[in-house]
Structure 1
Amino acid sequence: MLYSALLSLAAFMFCLSVFLVHRASVLENDLRKLQGDIILQFNQPRSEGVNGKMAKMSERREDIKPSTLPNSLSSLKVSSRRVKRQQGSCRAPTSFLQLTANTNKQPDIKGNITVIPWTVSAQQGNAISQKENRIVVQEDGYYLVFGQVLFKSPSTVMGHIIQSLSSTRTERTPTELLCCLQEMPDKTPANTCYTAGVVQLLQDDELELVIPYRPHSLISMDADSTFFGVIQLN
């Protein structure tokens, strides 16, 4: 009898230990699942209402609207600026033309004026071209016109005039645009006369630089001393 009682007690204790081990394993799994749910709740937006998924989706939409729209607008502004820069970079380059004195020729006296023989030293674009000793405008617009002459004549006053021959007039009489006068020193005469200005020109207008007649005028034909040019401004 005692032996049977001990055997039954041992079997009961064994079953109890197996049951406790199983419950402990179940409780451990439940605890891990609960921890995972808590971590997930902290990482996700809080939801209210009966349908939690719909609440989360609505909160996400509300969160997206104020944050993404400004970014989209700013990206549009940046892209529009890039387009403008690309359009600006695609514009035709500014046209200009600079003439320097031709050292192989001598100044030409025509009536009461002296004309310097010119040669092209720098040119870009199609809005300005050269015709003999004149500059021809190919497009209407505003232009910067400039000219310099180095005089070596012993005289009271030396200078030059930049004039235009308009294409709109029936008689192509010259119109004075810019004028430069320079008093020459008595000893070692050498003085530059420079002038520049912005003028409105029309297509086919012709510009020339002339020197009022001086019988004994001496002009430097160096490229860095005597030059004549036009730059397109628009």
Structure 2
Amino acid sequence: MKKILIAFTVSLFALGSCSKDDSGNGGGGTGTDAAVLSSPENNSECTTGTEVSATQSKVTFQWAAAPGAQAYFVYVKNLNTQSTLQFSAGANTSLDITLTKGTPYSWYVNANKTGGTTVASAVWKFYNAGDGVSNYAPFPADAVSPLMSSTIYGPTITLQWDGSDLDNDIVDYKVYMDTNANPTTLAGTVTTETLANVAVTSGGTYYWKVVTTDGAGNTTASPVYQFKVF
């Protein structure tokens, strides 16, 4: 994946000027028992974080209280590295977290309740603003079907995923799939989020990933997903 801050032209966005998608979609629990996320906003490309250094800023995470919650834990995933960090917020409904600039993240909140039950919120994505960014690389694609580690029937399957890009300029998706843990065989290049009629062999274990390309030439690879065939 190209580094987000390399080869970009002069910034069109100031740190205080943000756009967002208010759909709230992103998976996870969205019921009345879950914490309701509020900030950083879903699919937002910049935040009102406080400058920490040339490479980091402090971002305030906020959410509405979940009924009966005794404590909250915030999970923040770096979508470039796929590494997730856990932060304890105690009984508070906000938490300041220092993050790397110019990096895509996802986040959600677990509400721990009386009796030991835990309810997860929706999962939201955002970019922590970097300097000099005029076009953002796509978010890594999320597998829809087959799900990770699932077992399905052949002899042909349909691969499906969710792709998203803050600039809405996705050009195509390249799908790689084979029996290697790091697949290198191009199964197809499509402009939709579906690749149909992919041949598989009974008893095989397959690995697949999606590389998303946008109009500025930025590419982002998804995690590698795996499934088995009956």
The TM-score bracket by the shorter chain reads: under 0.3
Q: Select the structure of larger CA radius of gyration.
A: 1
Larger strand proportion of the pair:
2
Compute the TM-score of the two structures, normalised by the length of structure 1. 0.26
Structure holding more helix per residue:
1
Q: TM-score, normalised by structure 2?
A: 0.27
